[in-house]
């Protein structure tokens, strides 16, 4: 994760130095893409931590069920998400 952040900073600095103001749309698109990648890497890491306790090789369905229970269970107590209890209650 730190490597991605460091690379992001490095690329951002290089691009800021080499691009003119007229190319700011390209720069913004680049930053948006990096944000998209960063969010997905964070989600993957979060999902991996949810299944660390599983022993042996598990089917994809079993992994999904375990991740859903680990990550969705705390949502049941959220006032805005009361309908989640119907599916995971």
pLDDT at 28: 75
pLDDT at 35: 82
Q: Are 19 and 29 in contact (CB under 8 A)?
A: no
pLDDT at 11: 65
pTM of structure: 0.47
Q: Are 63 and 75 in contact (CB under 8 A)?
A: no
pLDDT at 61: 92
Q: For residue 7, what are the domain limits?
A: 1-50
For residues 45 and 82, state if they share a domain.
no
- State both tokens at 38: 């960063």
* pLDDT, mean of each 10-residue run, the chain (89 residues): 63 62 70 81 88 87 89 73 56
Cα–Cα distance list, 62 to 11, 31, 33, 54, 86 (Å): 39, 36, 31, 10, 20
For residues 39 and 4, state if they share a domain.
yes
- State both tokens at 10: 């490095």
Helix (H, G, I), strand (E, B) or coil at 78: coil
pLDDT at 32: 78
For residues 63 and 42, state if they share a domain.
no
For residues 14 and 40, state if they share a domain.
yes
For residues 44 and 17, state if they share a domain.
yes
How many distinct structural domains can be found in the chain? 2
């Amino acid at each position: 994760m730190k490597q991605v952040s460091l690379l992001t900073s490095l690329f951002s600095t290089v691009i800021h130095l080499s691009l003119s103001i007229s190319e700011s749309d390209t720069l913004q698109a680049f930053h948006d893409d990096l944000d998209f990648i960063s969010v997905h890497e964070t989600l993957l890491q979060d999902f991996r931590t949810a299944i660390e306790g599983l022993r042996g090789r598990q089917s994809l369905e079993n992994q999904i069920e375990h991740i859903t229970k680990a990550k969705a269970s705390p949502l049941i107590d959220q006032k805005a998400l009361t309908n989640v209890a119907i599916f995971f209650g």
